[in-house]
Chains A and B, each alone.
Chain A
Amino acid sequence: MLATVLVVAPLVAIFVYLVYKGAVSLNWAFFTHNPVPVGETGGGMANAIVGSGILLGVGSLIGIPVGIAGGIFLAEFGRGTKLANAIRFTADVLNGVPSIVMGIAVYSLVVVPQGHFSAFSGGVALGIMMIPTVCRTTEEMLLMVPHAVREAALALGVPNWRSVLSITVRTASAGIITGCMLAFARVAGETAPLIFTAFGNVGWSEKLSEPIAALPLQIYVYALSPYDEWHRLAWAGALVLIVLIVLAVSLVRYVTSRGVLKGAS
């Protein structure tokens, strides 16, 4: 009981504080308007909200498949091999790379050859950061599937690859999805890697080839600014960011609980 309280208390405290500071600045305009120049009132973070969505979308498209594939390889096909050990080591190292370093790395690898900042490069940075979490969680969840279940599939004359995908992965799917959501929630709030890749944008942008705004980035910029108006918007943005993350995670939980996990005891 005490442990639960200790864990939940900071979360609740942060949330309450955010509501206190940020709710006052929330209005319809926040969600529908782009930022306005300094001095003017009004405006919002519509572009940052959409921008974050696009960046996370691209990141997930890169990070989740690669991570899951890596996890499947580590758990099912490469057990004990040197390659698997190398992959696992790489994933752990990647996990520990500071996010700013990641941003710089992607800057050199994507932004420089492209010649400009872009949403795509931001997505790449976020995606790469998602890989280790997704990969390791997938591997662990797959390893937790009882050997008996795999044997049952093999004994039916199902080829090994098919057994892995249709039976083992399916059995572990709840855990794998959790892993993806953990990775998603983590990168949703990342700011540093976006500084040199997505760069941010005061205007509206949807193209992958252009710089794009992102909520955490915007919050960072506004918070560091000397303008009160922008501070208020930053608080609002922080609140919105947290709420959106919670909503996204809950949505995924709800959708998947109606599907794959149905009836499991």
Chain B
Amino acid sequence: MGVSIEVTNLNAWYGTNHTLQEINLDIPANHATALIGPSGCGKSTFVRCLNRMHETNPIARVTGTVLIGGLDIYADAKPVEIRRRVGMVFQRPNPFPTMSIYDNVAAGLKLNGYSNHKVLDEIVEKSLKNSALWEEVKDELKKKSGASLSGGQQQRLCIARALAVDPEVLLMDEPASALDPVSTSKIEDLIFQLKSQYTIVIVTHNMQQAARVAEKTGFFLNGRMVEFDSTHKIFTNPSDKRTEDYITGRFG
């Protein structure tokens, strides 16, 4: 099941660049929340603060509180633990190139010490089914490498890989932007099904996509969160003029 995320006074820096300023946000459990905004507005940085991937960059710094399911992920937990509970799917599909499909999905588990083959088999199957890839690859799990699939399939493989470790939150950074429309639709349908089991945060620059999959939407601009409301409100009658200017294409 998914958990809620409460962000309080989050600030982030890359070196001296104050990338995120005073972000306050409550992301509801078992919903999909979209983050929109022009390039460089900080939405990707924000999402990477939620699973502490931001700090893999040596000049990165964070202040403020992020509570995931009530747990303070900076003060009371280690990055490795958090990343097992908060999964991530990236913009460009990145399956492990030297591993088979099976090994890709099982990677998160195997590398963390699981070795029971029967259990792994079940988890791999379940994850591939949850990411709508099972039917297409079930006969070639161990023979085909992860990198030999099409772009859309690779992305679903990455989703399966992230789901295999049974996270509570799934972060998706523009997951469909490198894919064709059919693959994009498949991913969107997937998100729709997944949100009943996980909390999903999706960064997208495609507003129609945000409208299609997310109940709540947040608009980021220049490192600040300008407006956060139901997707319906943001796209039919936003409160802030900057939000309206962005979504109507008047700038950005």
Q: Is the CB of B98 within 8 A of A260?
A: yes
Q: Most chain-B CB neighbours within 10 Å: which of A155, A170, A173?
A: A155
B82-107 vs A, Cβ < 8 Å mask (1 yes, 0 no):
11110110101011111110000001
Alpha-carbon distance A263/B144, docked complex (angstroms): 6
**Set B51, B97, B143: member contacting A264, Cβ < 8 A:** B97
Alpha-carbon distance A42/B83, docked complex (angstroms): 70
Q: Is the CB of B90 within 8 A of A154?
A: no
Q: Is the CB of B56 within 8 A of A158?
A: no
Given A263-B143, A263-B145, decide whether A156 and B94 contact each other with a Cβ distance below 8 A.
no
**Set A149, A158, A167: member contacting B80, Cβ < 8 A:** A158
Contact residues in A for B82 (Cβ distance below 8 Å): 157
Nearest-Cβ distance from residue B69 to partner chain A, whole angstroms: 16
Chain A interface, number of residues (Cβ within 8 angstroms): 25
Nearest-Cβ distance from residue A156 to partner chain B, whole angstroms: 4
Chain A interface main SS type = helix
Chain B interface main SS type = mixed
Alpha-carbon distance A244/B110, docked complex (angstroms): 39
Contact residues in A for B97 (Cβ distance below 8 Å): 149, 171, 264-265
Q: Is the CB of A146 within 8 A of B96?
A: no
Alpha-carbon distance A162/B108, docked complex (angstroms): 11
Q: Does B53 contact A (CB under 8 A)?
A: yes
For chain A, residues 156 to 174, give those with C-beta under 8 angstroms from any C-beta of chain B: 156-159, 162-163, 166-167, 170-171, 173
Q: Does A151 contact B (CB under 8 A)?
A: yes
Nearest-Cβ distance from residue B151 to partner chain A, whole angstroms: 13
Q: Is the CB of B94 within 8 A of A151?
A: yes
Q: Is the CB of B147 within 8 A of A264?
A: yes
Contact residues in A for B88 (Cβ distance below 8 Å): 155
Q: Does B81 contact A (CB under 8 A)?
A: yes
- When C-beta atoms are compared, the residue in chain A nearest to B92 turns out to be A148
Q: Is the CB of B56 within 8 A of A149?
A: no
Q: Most chain-A CB neighbours within 10 Å: which of B53, B81, B111?
A: B111
Given A148-B90, A162-B111, A166-B111, decide whether A155 and B96 contact each other with a Cβ distance below 8 A.
no
Contact residues in B for A158 (Cβ distance below 8 Å): 80, 107-108, 111-112
Q: Does A261 contact B (CB under 8 A)?
A: yes
**Set A152, A163, A260: member contacting B90, Cβ < 8 A:** A152
Q: Does B31 contact A (CB under 8 A)?
A: no
Contact residues in B for A149 (Cβ distance below 8 Å): 94, 96-97
Q: Is the CB of B94 within 8 A of A148?
A: yes
Alpha-carbon distance A154/B96, docked complex (angstroms): 12
Chain B interface, number of residues (Cβ within 8 angstroms): 33
Contact residues in B for A173 (Cβ distance below 8 Å): 98
Contact residues in B for A170 (Cβ distance below 8 Å): 96, 98-99
Q: Does B161 contact A (CB under 8 A)?
A: yes
Nearest-Cβ distance from residue A164 to partner chain B, whole angstroms: 11
Contact residues in B for A263 (Cβ distance below 8 Å): 100, 143-145, 148
Q: Is the CB of A156 within 8 A of B145?
A: no
Given A149-B97, A264-B97, A264-B145, decide whether A154 and B83 contact each other with a Cβ distance below 8 A.
yes
Q: Is the CB of A156 within 8 A of B111?
A: yes
B137-159 vs A, Cβ < 8 Å mask (1 yes, 0 no):
00000011101100000000010
Nearest-Cβ distance from residue A162 to partner chain B, whole angstroms: 6
Q: Is the CB of B94 within 8 A of A146?
A: yes
Given A148-B90, A265-B147, decide whether A156 and B161 contact each other with a Cβ distance below 8 A.
yes
Q: Is the CB of B145 within 8 A of A151?
A: no
Q: Does A50 contact B (CB under 8 A)?
A: no
Q: Does B20 contact A (CB under 8 A)?
A: no
Contact residues in A for B144 (Cβ distance below 8 Å): 263
- When C-beta atoms are compared, the residue in chain B nearest to A263 turns out to be B145
Q: Does B162 contact A (CB under 8 A)?
A: yes
Alpha-carbon distance A156/B90, docked complex (angstroms): 12
Q: Is the CB of A154 within 8 A of B56?
A: yes
Alpha-carbon distance A157/B113, docked complex (angstroms): 12
Given A158-B80, A265-B145, decide whether A153 and B98 contact each other with a Cβ distance below 8 A.
no
Contact residues in A for B81 (Cβ distance below 8 Å): 157
Nearest-Cβ distance from residue B14 to partner chain A, whole angstroms: 16
Given A152-B90, A265-B145, decide whether A157 and B83 contact each other with a Cβ distance below 8 A.
yes
Nearest-Cβ distance from residue B36 to partner chain A, whole angstroms: 22
Extra pairs beyond A155-B51, A157-B165 (8, CB < 8 Å) = A151-B53, A153-B107, A156-B108, A156-B162, A171-B98, A261-B98, A262-B145, A265-B145
Q: Which 3 A-B pairs have the closest CB atoms?
A: A157-B84, A263-B145, A157-B83
Can you list 21 A-B contacts (CB < 8 A)? A149-B96, A151-B94, A152-B158, A156-B83, A156-B84, A156-B112, A156-B161, A157-B81, A157-B83, A157-B85, A158-B107, A166-B111, A167-B107, A167-B111, A170-B99, A261-B98, A263-B100, A263-B145, A264-B97, A264-B145, A264-B147
